[in-house]
Amino acid sequence: MPNHFLRSAIIVCCLLLMLPIVARAEYFTQTGHVGFYQEPLFQGARTNALGLADLATPTGPMAILQNPASQLEGNTLQVGFERSDWFEDWEMTNWALSGEWKFLRLGVVRHQTALWDAPLRTAYDPEGDQNSITAISRTWTTGLSGQVLPRQWREKGFSANIGANWRHYSHSIDTSYSDDETVNSTDDADIGLTIGWQRKISSGWIRLDGAAMKHNIFQSSLEIHPFKIYLPNYSQVGLTATGVWIPTGKTIEALRVLVAYSHRQESKEEDRERFHADRWGAELTVLEMAAFRVGDNDDPLYQANSKTMGMALIVPRRLINPLELRLNWTRFDHGFDIGWQDIFGVTLSASF
């Protein structure tokens, strides 16, 4: 049997083995009470800086949050950590670990959003001086993906990846006026496909990538009275164009330019109208050691047009071979009068 058929069979079998896990996803009846909306907004500093538009080319160990079938980066082991403190009693953190070998990638991301001892107004305490609430949301995402094209196509510059995520959500609420802690959880899954084409030119290379994914295919949700946490069920497509300039006689990339666009269409649910969102982002990297990113996220759900920007300091592998270190900072505005949010992150990659 040719190697590429064996490779494809292995990937498909692994993805099928994940289905019994996600098939236990819990379903909840849609009700009309007040709820709130939750999405993995914390999808990595680079992705946020690009306005969540880099569906086709997310990078780093947190890439599976954006697209389970993102392009492979080679035989690497990556670890990443990111943190954001928005308000005094609110924080988000990401821990991620990803490993690639030949044509397969396996990644795990732990995301946590926490609201610590926030003042809580009740009918018994209208001023909210005596009561508080602690709410913690945790998400474990496990992703598996792989390259499915045979070698002869890859040698021509083409690539195609398929992938799937299993995601486990849990949410807990603990109040100061009650000894009971409310905990609920559910499971869901993503599937994705990414295709790419790359060509060398006289002074560098150009690349085009396209991706499509389905997020939360089981349409799960969480209910913790009096709240409902919506896990959005949407489809998304994205395109990315990348150009690299390498001066004659040099071996490092002097300039890398990336432009990304994505379109998202969310499915209609009983008590929420269907909506779509267009996103774009651009990235400029100089001498493999610094990157500047900007993005725009037109999100009708929040009736907001979020602006983002970010910077990265990169210590490339050519200096600390076989390691690469990236320090990221991103700032974005949610579109409300609640100030800017900052995200700080670090990623370490080791090649083997």
Q: 140-159 pLDDT, tens per residue?
A: 999 999 999 888 898 889 99
Would you state the pLDDT for residue 170?
Answer: 83
Would you state the pLDDT for residue 166?
Answer: 92
Residues, the chain, total? 352
- To the question of pTM greater than 0.85 for the whole model, the response is no
74: DSSP letter: S
Would you state the pLDDT for residue 195?
Answer: 94
**Distance between CA atoms of residues 170 and 185, nearest Å:** 4
* Whether the predicted pLDDT of 126 surpasses 90: no
The three-state secondary structure class of 61 is coil
Strands 36-37 and 227-230: parallel
Q: Tell me the CB-side half-sphere exposure of residue 128, using CA atoms within 13 A.
A: 7
Q: Which burial class, exposed, middle or buried, applies to 84 when counting CB atoms under 10 A from its CB (0-12, 13-18, 19+)? A: buried
* Whether the predicted pLDDT of 66 surpasses 90: no
Strand order, beta sheet including 227-230: 36-37, 227-230, 221-224
Would you state the pLDDT for residue 22?
Answer: 35
> CA angle, corner 108, sides to 161 and 308, nearest 5?
80
- Is the CB of residue 45 less than 8 Å from the CB of residue 249? no
Strands 76-85 and 340-351: antiparallel
Alpha helices by DSSP H, listed for 99-245, are 151-154
Would you state the pLDDT for residue 91?
Answer: 81
* Whether the predicted pLDDT of 236 surpasses 60: yes
Alpha helices by DSSP H, listed for 52-117, are 63-66
36: DSSP letter: E
Percentage of the chain lying above the pLDDT 90 cut: 30
Q: What is the pLDDT of residues 100-110, one digit of tens each?
A: 998 899 999 99
* Whether the predicted pLDDT of 17 surpasses 80: no
Q: What is the mean pLDDT of residues 51-55?
A: 88
Neighbours of 22 (CB within 10 A): 19
The three-state secondary structure class of 318 is helix
Q: What phi and psi values does residue 128 have, to the nearest 5 degrees? A: 70, 25
Percentage of the chain lying above the pLDDT 70 cut: 70
Q: Looking at 29-43, 73-87, 255-269, which range is the least confident one?
A: 29-43
Rounded to the nearest integer, the mean pLDDT of the chain is 77
**Distance between CA atoms of residues 256 and 265, nearest Å:** 30
Q: What is the pLDDT of residues 154-206, one digit of tens each?
A: 888 999 999 999 988 887 777 666 666 667 778 888 999 999 999 998 889 99
- Is the CB of residue 57 less than 8 Å from the CB of residue 240? yes
CATH class of residue range 3-351: mainly beta
In 3D space, the residue among 141, 159, 142, 139 whose CA is nearest the CA of residue 150 turns out to be: 159
Domain boundary assignment for the chain: 3-351
